[in-house]
Amino acid sequence: MARSPKDVSAHFSDVAEVYHDLRTTDQEPIISIKNQLGHLLYKPSINAADIGCGNGRYSLLLPQHLGDRLRLTFADKNRCMLNMLTKRLDHTCSSEVIQSSAECIPVCEKSFDFATAFNAVHHFKLKDFLAEMARILKDGGLLFIYTRTQEQNRCNIWGKYFPDFCKKETRLWKERDFCRVVAQTSQFALQDSVYFTYRRVSSLERLIEQAEGHHYSTFWLYSDKSFREALDRFQQNITAQFTDPAKIQWTDENTLFVLKKIREAR
C-alpha cells in the first residue's frame, strides 16, 4: 500500500541514524545567509532558530561562519532526528533543542534575529508557519527558506529518471505559488530569491544506495512493490542514458527565499 504524506514522521524515525550519510549537504546556502545578515554581523550576540532542523546537517554549519556569538535554537517534531542532532552538537555555540511543530514553537515573541528552514518547508502548513515566524522574529528579522521547487525537482536525476518521482511528490511548492502566499501575508516581504546550481557526479551504485535508504521522503510515498519496480526501471533508464555507471553526471537546483519581517506600526 502506498503511504500518505501524513505518515512522513515514521519515515524520518526510520532514517534518522543514517540520514546524514545519505544526503548531500552544500555550504553555499550557509555562505549566502551570512552575506545577507548585514548589520547583524556586528552584534555581539545573534539569536537564531532552525525550524524543521532534522539532524542539524545545515544549521550546524552556521557556527563555523558566525562563531560563538551565535545562540541557536533547534526545533523539529521528530524525536529520533533530534536525538541524532544532540549527538552531533559540539557546543561551539550556545544552543537549545526543542521538540515542536513548525507552526507552534514554545518560545517568546520576538525572540530571534533570524530563522532558517532547510529542505523542510514542504512539510509545513505554510500560512501557519509564516504566522508563527512573524511572532517569534524581531521586527526586521530575516527568514531564510532553502528548498527545491517543483520546477527544480523535475530537473534532477530522480525527477528525470525515477518513475513517478515528480507525480508522487506533490508537497513541493511551485515558485509562483510560494511567492503568492508570501505576498498575501501582511507580515513578510520577499527580499530576495537566490538560485543555486550544483554539478553532481556519482555512481549508479551510490544512487541505488540512496534510494533504498529513502534519502528523499518522496520514496516513502511508494508502496514496497511499486518502489522496487520503479528502482529497477530507474537502473534501466540510467544504464541507457549514461555510458559509465561509475560516473553519472547531473545538475541539482535549489532556491533560498529571503523574507524580511515587516516592522510593526507604532
Region 70-93 average pLDDT:
89
The reported pTM is 0.93
Q: Which three cell numbers stand for residue 230?
A: 520503479
pLDDT digits (tens, 9 = 90+) for 173-222: 999 999 999 999 999 999 999 999 999 999 999 999 999 999 899 999 99
Percent of the chain with pLDDT over 90: 82
What gap in Å lies between CA 128 and CA 194, rounded to an integer? 24
Q: Residue 89: which of 41, 50, 133 has the closest Cα?
A: 50
CA separation, residue 211 to residues 82, 232, 234, 245 (Å): 23, 11, 10, 16
CATH placement of domain 5-150+171-197+255-261: 3.40.50.150
Q: Where are the domains of the chain?
A: 5-150+171-197+255-261
pLDDT of residue 10: 73
**pLDDT tens digits for 102-161?**
999 999 999 999 999 999 999 999 999 999 999 999 999 999 999 999 999 999 999 999
